[in-house]
Structure 1
Amino acid sequence: MFIGLFSVRIVLNGLGEEDYGIYNVVGGVVTMLAFLNNSLSSATQRFLSFELGKGNKKELHSIFCNSMTLYIVVCVILLVLAETLGLWFVNNKLVIPDERMVATNWIYQFSIISFLCTILSSPFNAAIIAREKMGVYAYVSIAESLLKLALIYSILILGGDKLIIYGFFMMLVAVSVFIFYMAYCLMNFEETKYRYVFDKNKIKEIGGFAGWGVWGALSNIFKGQGVNILLNIFFGPVVNASRGIAYQVEGAINTLVQNFYTAMRPQLIKSYAANETEEVFKLLDMSTRLGYYMMFLVSLVFLYETPLIFSLWLGQIPQYSVDFTRLVLIGQLFIVLANPLMTAIHATGKVAKYQFWSGCIFMIVLPFSYFILELDQNSFWPFVVLIISSLAYWLLTIERCYKLIGLSLKSYFAMVFRLLLVSLVLLLGGQLLYQWGPEGWVGFVVLCFYTIVIGLTVILFIDCSKSERVMIKKIILLKLHK
């Protein structure tokens, strides 16, 4: 996480605010084509985890091979779309200075290659997650971050167009990661040895699960990269740079939570497949609470000390990045609450209504944002719309889990009330420190101490049950005696 954040400073200083914004928005055009890949990835992971839970090796291999065939078809479709519709959009609709159009087209082609490698990595990633080999992800993530950092540093030394060089280096990293994941899976998992298979029934089963996911994933692209392009059209690449910074922060913090969810997801699906209902609810409770607190505690520091952190991190602070970051983190808290419930919904396989309505919620973010910007050209409005849509999405996942797995609304909202109470107590203390406490680096250190020590203490006494406090005490004493 810290390597990734440090890399942004070097890239921003090396490329400049305008070129950084160009890279962000051009890469976003390619990412908009990812809706097929995202839904297929979720479907592949779900079916692999389900068959592992049942112990069916033959079906496991069949699922992987049929999924890989679908991925290859998806790559061909997306390549055609990228080199026709996408290329036209980049050259005719984006707001980019004329003198940067050549570099922009190079970046676009590099982004396509990187994107295709990411797609082809997905079935291998799904196999690793289903097998719960999370250590592989940790090592690859560290190696990937260090490689990116080394290549980014070289931008400062090399001559030529730095934007083109940066895009080329990021493409090399994506290709390298794909080759590693493929080689690792082929050496360790029998089911990943691909042979051409096109089982109509199996394809229909996977496609049926993924089909509604296409709608949901397409809506996520619209509310993410669609809004990014909208900001470019209304305000130019400088605002894209600010948005890019905000989502770099959100992505870095969210990585901590997602790594935890990635480890939890196969366990929840396997428990559901084995009809272990009580275990499913325990996992939901644990993952919701831990995931939320991980996101909230780190976000708390950013909410109050964003300018100070950015001055150290970036040197030069893009104009809107501080406020954008705060708004993005607020919206992400609702998504973090919804993610464990989403996994439970996927475990049931009954995703049609969920995907349809969640897609509708996020699909309207783009037209609503456009409508509001036409009335008032304030770049903050799309982020406000996004927060409201994230809240609506969380409420939808609660309703679906109530209908599909019998989620107890009384127990769930009692847990949410405790989360809210802890958050309000810590926000009140943080506000008092912000207004009356020391300023500068002393204030930052005090806030970090407050977040860790006081935050964990408040969580322990407000949210944890007596048995959980006893268990935590035993774990701490055991660690101290080692």
Structure 2
Amino acid sequence: MVESSSQKVGIKIFRGAAATVLSLVATTIIGLVIMPIVVNQLGDRLYGVWVLIGTITGYFGFLDLGLSKAVMRFVSQSLGKGDKVAADDWISIALASFAILAIVSLFLSIGVWLLVPCFLSGAEDAKVISLALLIALLAFSAALPARCFLGILEAHVRKDIVSLIHVLTNIFRAGTMFVVISYKGSLIGLAMVAAIYTVFDGFLIICFARRVHGPFRLNKAALNIENLKVFFGYASSSFVTQITDIIRYKSYPMIITPFLGLAALTPFAIAERLTQMLISLCNGILLNLSPVFSQLEGAGGVEGNEKLKRYYFFSYKFSCYLGVFAVGMTMMLASPFIERWMGAKYLNAVPILHVLLIGIFFSLIQIPTLCFLFAVSRQKFYAITNTIHSVASIILCAILVIPFELLGLAFGISVVTFFVKFFLQPIGVLGLIDMKLINYHIKKSLPNIIIPSIFIILYYFFTKKYIQPNYSIIFLIGLFGSLFFTLYICVCGFNKCERSMLLRAIKPALFFLK
């Protein structure tokens, strides 16, 4: 029997979700294995340099300008219309744009390389640090055009290919780094390994994108003012959110280094690595809500759409349950895990992690809110609140890091996150569904937080005497906690209608697993 187009798309979506989870698990395991090895080889100071290099390279992500998302948007739209010529025109615009940006990135890389020694004039290894940074930035510049092809793969709903490429390169990168470290490799050696695999990752994406899309025709005529205006107009809205995210997530090492030194980056990096893993996991589960909200909005608009409203509140309940469980279990197991993973001397990262997790919790429960805003074309509201979030975080952290050091920094991050996520961002949705903020938190937030919190508290008291710095014990406590929590929340958290909704949601996955 011939599959319908909707079935084919469903298979692609499921493959993409499965591959994304695989990529996340593989990346997490690789990161957990390789990080203590790199820290032990480089030492706290040079590992701080390594983190700083990654931070500066991350800032170069500004140069994407939101164009990769625009490629996905317009190429997928053209493919949906069956107009491959139009798709090739948008690819022509994107390739020309990324080629120019790659050249700009190249010159900026050289400029940063020349300027860095001025800020490290007193350091003995200033030349080594600046050279390692140059290698990383040149690799980024070389791989920048691959972002166009990344957008092409996503337009064809082939997220599975992207995820598997990342898994492949991460495995080989980690293996090569291990070999280099085994032979007492230096910072330059590690930078070279990372650079080679950055370019290799981009090369694979280009190859597979050309295979999936087929031959494409570059059209100079497509580079006209009208097309450029449409293309960059769409890219600009996503660029604002991208730039504020980069500022917010990549600025903290720049605050820590001048006040506390490079060595202080290591405990903060340990705590931040674990929080980012948690965010990635929850994003992977919840970010697929956007197309569901978009379909509901298309069927009945936003205002007065009771079905859209009901789905939003259900997904918010689900995110609260997931957020309480994920953060609660991480708090329970953080100390023994870090002791076993990095060693007892890095237990100073535990209190930092605990404070960060408070803010992370409020970010996790509001993932459906962000999906809703993007799904109904209210992303400008998110851009505004995200800008407030970024600026306020940097200012408060800069104030608190001097008297309270890393704990002050973590506290500043969490306080601003709580204020923005709990009070500001929900307003963007509540104004559309005609509900007051106070009623939202009393009727929706508090019950959905209290119910799973009861389980976490009871589970902690039952298991605390068994918790030890042992991977097997940590895994078993996490596994049994997940199973018992699922049973508890199905009985005590979801009603009959919601359980039915969940069952309908997982049926397609069960079908494709047959």
TM-score range, shorter chain: 0.7 to 0.9
> Structure 1 residues 233, 117: CA separation in 2 closer, same or farther (over 3 Å shift)?
same
> Structure 1 residues 194, 153: CA separation in 2 closer, same or farther (over 3 Å shift)?
farther
Three-state SS of the structure 2 residue aligned to 1:331 is helix
Q: Which moved more, 1:379-388 or 1:167-176?
A: 379-388
2:171 aligned with 1:143: no
Of the three residues 88, 91, 113, the one matched with 1:87 is: 113
Residue 177 of structure 1 corresponds to 201
2:92 aligned with 1:65: yes
1:232-255 deviations in whole A, cap 9, x for unaligned? Answer: 111111111222222222233333
2:37 aligned with 1:10: yes
Q: Is the CA contact (8 Å cut-off) linking 1:54 and 1:274 kept in structure 2?
A: no
Deviation at 1:178, TM superposition (A): 0.5
Matches within 5 A, 1:165-314: 165-190=189-214, 195-196=219-220, 197-261=222-286, 263-265=288-290, 268-269=293-294, 284=312, 288=316, 293-294=321-322, 296-314=324-342
> Structure 1 residues 191, 369: CA separation in 2 closer, same or farther (over 3 Å shift)?
farther
Residue 490 of structure 2 corresponds to 460
Of the three residues 368, 380, 392, the one matched with 2:396 is: 368
> Structure 1 residues 177, 473: CA separation in 2 closer, same or farther (over 3 Å shift)?
closer
Q: Distance in 2 between matches of 1:472 and 1:15?
A: 48
2:413 aligned with 1:386: yes
Q: Distance in 1 between matches of 2:427 and 2:193?
A: 45
Q: Distance in 2 between matches of 1:250 and 1:316?
A: 19
Q: Distance in 1 between matches of 2:247 and 2:239?
A: 12
1:308-352 deviations in whole A, cap 9, x for unaligned? Answer: 111222236436422233333332333333334334333444544
Higher relative contact order (CA 8 A, sep 6+): 1
- Name the aligned partner's letter for residue 379 of structure 1: L
Q: Is the CA contact (8 Å cut-off) linking 1:65 and 1:195 kept in structure 2?
A: yes
> Structure 1 residues 351, 472: CA separation in 2 closer, same or farther (over 3 Å shift)?
closer
- Name the aligned partner's letter for residue 491 of structure 2: F
> Structure 1 residues 125, 102: CA separation in 2 closer, same or farther (over 3 Å shift)?
same
> Structure 1 residues 40, 324: CA separation in 2 closer, same or farther (over 3 Å shift)?
farther
Gaps of 5+ in 2: 1-27
Residue 396 of structure 1 corresponds to 424
Q: Which moved more, 1:210-219 or 1:353-362?
A: 210-219
Of the three residues 116, 123, 128, the one matched with 2:153 is: 128
Of the three residues 365, 370, 379, the one matched with 1:342 is: 370
Q: Distance in 2 between matches of 1:285 and 1:454?
A: 24
Q: Distance in 2 between matches of 1:129 and 1:343?
A: 18
Query: RMSD of the TM alignment (CA)?
Result: 3.6
- Name the aligned partner's letter for residue 420 of structure 2: Y
Deviation at 1:304, TM superposition (A): 1.7
Q: Is the CA contact (8 Å cut-off) linking 2:30 and 2:171 kept in structure 1?
A: yes
Q: Distance in 2 between matches of 1:465 and 1:191?
A: 52
1:249-281 deviations in whole A, cap 9, x for unaligned? Answer: 223333333334565545655665676767866
Q: Is the CA contact (8 Å cut-off) linking 2:75 and 2:91 kept in structure 1?
A: yes
Q: Distance in 2 between matches of 1:89 and 1:231?
A: 20
Q: Is the CA contact (8 Å cut-off) linking 2:321 and 2:449 kept in structure 1?
A: no
Deviation at 1:439, TM superposition (A): 4.2
Deviation at 1:450, TM superposition (A): 4.9
Identity %: 14
> Structure 1 residues 443, 51: CA separation in 2 closer, same or farther (over 3 Å shift)?
same
Normalised TM-score (structure 2) = 0.79
Three-state SS of the structure 1 residue aligned to 2:265 is helix
Q: Is the CA contact (8 Å cut-off) linking 2:309 and 2:433 kept in structure 1?
A: no
- Name the aligned partner's letter for residue 390 of structure 2: F
Residue 426 of structure 1 corresponds to 455
Q: Distance in 1 between matches of 2:186 and 2:131?
A: 12
Matches within 5 A, 1:430-449: 430-433=459-462, 437-440=465-468, 441=470, 444=474, 447-449=477-479
Q: Is the CA contact (8 Å cut-off) linking 2:244 and 2:387 kept in structure 1?
A: yes
Normalised TM-score (structure 1) = 0.84
Three-state SS of the structure 2 residue aligned to 1:66 is helix
- Name the aligned partner's letter for residue 32 of structure 1: Y
Q: Is the CA contact (8 Å cut-off) linking 2:327 and 2:361 kept in structure 1?
A: no
Q: Is the CA contact (8 Å cut-off) linking 1:246 and 1:322 kept in structure 2?
A: yes
Q: Distance in 2 between matches of 1:407 and 1:454?
A: 37
Q: Distance in 2 between matches of 1:60 and 1:13?
A: 49
Q: Distance in 2 between matches of 1:190 and 1:273?
A: 32
Three-state SS of the structure 2 residue aligned to 1:400 is helix
Gaps of 5+ in 1: none
Q: Which moved more, 1:233-242 or 1:383-392?
A: 383-392
Q: Is the CA contact (8 Å cut-off) linking 2:319 and 2:367 kept in structure 1?
A: no
- Name the aligned partner's letter for residue 455 of structure 2: L
Q: Distance in 2 between matches of 1:207 and 1:315?
A: 48
Q: Distance in 1 between matches of 2:293 and 2:84?
A: 20
Three-state SS of the structure 2 residue aligned to 1:168 is helix
> Structure 1 residues 102, 283: CA separation in 2 closer, same or farther (over 3 Å shift)?
farther
1:447-472 deviations in whole A, cap 9, x for unaligned? Answer: 42552122212321233220343576
Q: Distance in 2 between matches of 1:163 and 1:115?
A: 17
Three-state SS of the structure 2 residue aligned to 1:379 is helix
Q: Which moved more, 1:33-42 or 1:262-271?
A: 262-271
Three-state SS of the structure 2 residue aligned to 1:99 is coil
Q: Distance in 2 between matches of 1:335 and 1:57?
A: 39
Three-state SS of the structure 2 residue aligned to 1:16 is helix
